Amino acid sequence: MSVAEEVFTPAKTPFRGVAPANGPQWQQRYVRALIVTDVIVVALALVCAQTVKLGRPITAGDPASVYFLMLSCFVGAIWLTLLSAYRTRSPRIVGAGVEEYRRVVSATLATIGFVAVALMIFRPEYARGYLAVAFPLGLAGLVVGRNLCRLYLARQRRRGRCVVNVLAVGDARAVRSLVQSLTRGWGYGYLVVGVCLTGRSSGGTIDVPEVGTLPVLGDEGKVHDAILKTNADTVALTTTDHLGPEGVRELSWDLHKLGVDLVVTPGVVDVAGPRLTMRPVAGLPLIHVEKPQYSGTKKIQKLAFDYFVSISVLIGALPVMLASAIAIKLTSRGPVFYRSERIGLDGQPFQMIKFRTMVEGADKQVDSLKDVNDSVGGVLFKVKNDPRVTAVGRLLRKYSIDELPQFFNVLRRDMSVVGPRPPLRREVDTYNDQVRRRLLVLPGITGLWQVSGRSDLSWEDSVRLDLSYVENWSITNDLLIAVKTVRTVATGSGAY
């Protein structure tokens, strides 16, 4: 399964009113699988480190082997304990998103700190090389193990299994928005199985665009009965106006007795966790939304990241770039490189460079192909089987080799490694004030749009992903997007 499918493809499960009551059971099984995976990974990492340090297999009766075996048991116990203490297997964060990986890294760093203090106290000098192998190997294994578990979970969720059944409560507009968002983020495993609408009696359905119909099970006073009918594991409260503070509190008490979770959507769209701070004031949980940060230390981090990645890629891909240039020159007329005007930071134009993948003069043929434009919405121009693309160009596009010269744009600071898709001037001319926020950061060679469908995305989805990136960008997200891009490019999914 490609990253594009894993990240973006909506769930294909139809809404049938009642989903299987498999929430708690599958969560428990999944957590047990994570425990087994973590134990195996940590044990293998420590055994490998011990073998590398000793230069020979572990042997019974050997004093060095006995010492390192005891050390491995000590380090392994601390490591696994901290993985549990940091709640790396909490059902609320496993399976999707970056929080699970962040906690795994934090638990491993805490283990390193704990062991480092022990080394300073007891000073076993000959153990440092052993730990220098164990921790990097173990951390890599933990991340890979979690990723494999996620791939399995994603396959199950695409089949409608291993989901959390959600009962949505609120007014019709807020409920529709919630259902659409949860459907787009199908990887998180939330399946809305029914709704309770403000001012509506039981019976009938509500139509959700691009999703389908859902049964209306009454108003916010019928939540208890709706849970029994749908077997919901979670209640998602979209609006609290009609319930009031006391009503929400009583609802949370009732759900606690039923063993059902309660989540409240604040109505803040496309704002990630780092920008949200919860602060209780006079008994009210106030959510502070911080301003996006595009300067200061974050800007320096992004600059260093861009230069390091660009120089590394250009050096490592030099043979591929030379072979591509020769193939382009030998198989078609025209220059090796294609330069296109794009709009960058703060609306400033620049010349984006790529390997030429089309016949010479392809720009002049755009008008003749307007009738076969595959772009949904018509703002973008995309043709899946574009007759202007050469045979070599089709291969270069499939694996994004044609975009390698754009790393020179990164070194010139026209672009960034990760950012919104670089738009054409005619696209920018159609932007409203909201969409123009894409121009607050440098455009990127890759981005959320690249790992979420590439050319298969509609204009609306492309804008939504770009704005989400602009509002929440961080060096951690850039690293994750870069890693996912490698997987996306390897599959060639969504490229044409």
- Any domain includes 286: no
273 is a domain residue? no
Q: How many CB atoms lie within 10 A of CB 110?
A: 16
| One domain for residues 230 and 119 | no
Domain extent at residue 110: 23-158
Mean pLDDT to the nearest integer, 152-162: 88
The mean pLDDT of 301-319, rounded to a whole number, is 94
What is the spatial distance between Cα 284 and Cα 488, in angstroms, rounded to a whole number?
A: 44
Q: Are residues 51 and 179 in the same domain?
A: no
What pLDDT does 14 receive? 37
For residue 226, give the nearest of 248, 247, 200, 249 by alpha carbon. 200
* Residue 177 or residue 319, greater confidence: 319
Among 114, 140, 158, give the residue marking a domain's end.
Answer: 158
Residue 365 lies in a domain: yes
Whether residues 459 and 400 fall in one domain? yes
Report how far residue 459's alpha carbon sits from residue 427's, in angstroms, rounded to the nearest whole number: 10
**Per the domain annotation, does 381 fall within a domain?**
yes
pLDDT value of position 383: 62
Both structure tokens of 46: 């420590």
Together in a domain, 178 and 70: no
Q: Please tell me whether residues 147 and 185 are part of one structural domain.
A: no
Residue 389, pLDDT > 70, answer: yes
Contact 49, 79 (CB under 8 A): no
198 within 8 A of 220, measured Cβ to Cβ: yes
Task: Give the pLDDT band of residue 4 (cuts 50, 70, 90).
Answer: very low
Same structural domain, 393 and 302? yes
Q: Which of 127, 158, 189 is the last residue of a domain?
A: 158
Q: Is residue 218 part of a domain?
A: yes
Shared-domain flag, residues 323 and 438 = yes
- Both tokens of residue 255? 């759900």
- The pLDDT of residue 92: 83
pLDDT band at 201 (very low <50, low <70, confident <90, very high): confident
Residue 344 confidence (pLDDT): 93
Residue 59 falls inside a structural domain: yes
Of 199-208, 363-372, 386-395, the range with the lowest mean pLDDT is: 363-372
Structure-model confidence comparison of residues 398 and 16, the more confident one: 398
Token couple for 258: 């039923």
The better pLDDT of the pair 103, 364 is held by 103
Does 56 lie in the same domain as 202? no
pLDDT band at 7 (very low <50, low <70, confident <90, very high): very low
Residue 91 forms part of a structural domain: yes
Q: Percentage of the chain with pLDDT > 90?
A: 31
The verdict on 301 and 426 lying in the same domain is yes
pLDDT of residue 8: 32
Give the C-alpha distances (Å, rounded to integers) separating 448 from 173, 420, 444, 462, 467: 27, 8, 10, 8, 10
Q: Binning pLDDT at 50, 70 and 90, where does residue 109 land? A: very high
> How confident is the model over 238-264, as pLDDT tens digits?
877 777 777 888 888 888 888 898 888
pLDDT tier at 485, thresholds 50, 70, 90: confident
Q: Is residue 125 part of a domain?
A: yes
Count of domains forming the chain: 3
The answer on pLDDT for 12 being more than 70 is no
Share of the chain above pLDDT 70, in %: 79
**Does residue 417 share a domain with residue 305?**
yes
Same domain, 79 and 189: no
> What's residue 160's pLDDT?
82
Which pLDDT belongs to residue 144?
Answer: 92
pTM above 0.75, yes or no: no
What pLDDT, in 10s, does the model give residues 117-146?
Answer: 877 776 655 566 778 889 999 999 999 999
3-state secondary structure (DSSP) of residue 410 = helix
Which pLDDT value is given to residue 18? 38
The percent of the chain in helix, strand and coil, each rounded to the nearest 5, is 55, 15, 30
β-strand 164-170 against 234-237: which pairing, if any? parallel
Task: Choose the weakest-confidence range: 8-17, 185-194, 248-257, 390-399.
Answer: 8-17
Residue 257 and residue 345 in one domain: no
Alpha-helical (H) ranges within 387-435 are: 391-398, 406-411, 425-428
Supply the pLDDT for residue 200.
Answer: 83
Beta strands (DSSP E) in 250-407 are: 261-264, 276-281, 284-289, 337-343, 349-355
CATH number of the domain at 226, please: 3.40.50.720
Average pLDDT over residues 437-456: 81
Residue where a domain terminates, one of 106, 133, 158: 158
Q: What is the DSSP letter of 43?
A: H
